[in-house]
Amino acid sequence: MKTEIQRELSHIFKLLASEKRLAILMLLEEKPYSVSELIEALQMEQSAVSHQLKKLREEQVVAVQKVGRTVYYRLTDSHMIDLLANAEKHVDHVMNDESHEDWLKRNKQ
Ligand SMILES: [Zn+2]
């Protein structure tokens, strides 16, 4: 049985499943970027970057902020910020063949 929530969740995870979009999101985790800064950092075509940003914006994964005449893309939604950070932590211990518990021990303050 497919509920609307499952469909939307699947949509969000598909959005996050693109390596190109993940590359954008990992840059935005550090700081806001303009389209031209993203093009420079990722060595991608403007049309490709704009296309991916549009998709991310439609699902409220990224937000825009205008500074003067420049549009900056940012991560502002704490759900998405936490989701990305948690997925990166999970990948970190899986890549190192480490259990979740060992990762927690290693990273506790
Ligand atoms: Zn984990």
**pLDDT (tens place) for every residue of the chain, 109 residues total:** 679 999 999 999 999 999 999 999 999 999 999 999 999 999 999 999 999 999 999 999 999 999 999 999 999 999 999 999 999 999 999 999 999 999 999 998 6
Fold assignment, 2-76: Arc Repressor Mutant, subunit A (1.10.10)
CA of 74 to the centre of ligand 1 (A): 26
State the greatest distance between any 2 C-alpha atoms of the chain, in Å, as a whole number: 49
CA of 82 to the centre of ligand 1 (A): 13
Instruction: Give me the residue spans of the domains in the chain.
Output: 2-76, 77-109
CA of 16 to the centre of ligand 1 (A): 18
CA of 12 to the centre of ligand 1 (A): 20
The whole-number pLDDT of residue 52 equals 97
* Full-model pTM: 0.90
For residues 84 and 29, is the Cβ–Cβ distance under 8 A?
Answer: yes
CA of 54 to the centre of ligand 1 (A): 30
Give the other-Cβ count within 10 Å of 53's Cβ. Answer: 21
